[in-house]
Amino acid sequence: MIVDVRCYTIQPRKMKTYLKIFEEDGLPVQQRNGLKLLGYFVHSVGRLNRVTHMWEFDSLADMEQKRAARDADPGWAEYQAKTDGLVQAQENSLTTPAPFSPIK
């Protein structure tokens, strides 16, 4: 198992807009293409205007296949157009669970 951890910085005062578009447009596209959301979090202390989301994959090949399917979905281009300009910065890392992690 690998977990893709993504942190996005959202334009100030646009968080509600971004979350609504993601929930209504982005998440359904991801789910219908097999991406599994482990969690989606809004930062309220420290660096503000940020979200962190985590996605589970069986392997790098699984991630590449599911992302390719998502990217080919016309709904993904529509979602990206709706969120154009809302994301200021993106970071991501691929992680694996430690042997004692409750998520394996």
Distance CA(97)–CA(1), nearest Å, equals: 8
The full set of domain ranges for the chain reads 2-95
Helix axes 74-82, 60-72, angle to 10 degrees: 80
Question: What fold characterizes domain 2-95?
Answer: Alpha-Beta Plaits (3.30.70)
Whether pLDDT at 15 is above 90: yes
What mean pLDDT is predicted for residues 78-82? 97
What mean pLDDT is predicted for residues 74-99? 97
Average pLDDT, the chain: 97
The tens digit of pLDDT for each residue in 50-73 reads 999 999 999 999 999 999 999 999
- The pLDDT confidence band at residue 104, using thresholds 50, 70 and 90, is confident
Whole-structure pTM value: 0.91
Residues 99, 30, 21, CA angle at the centre, nearest 5°? 120
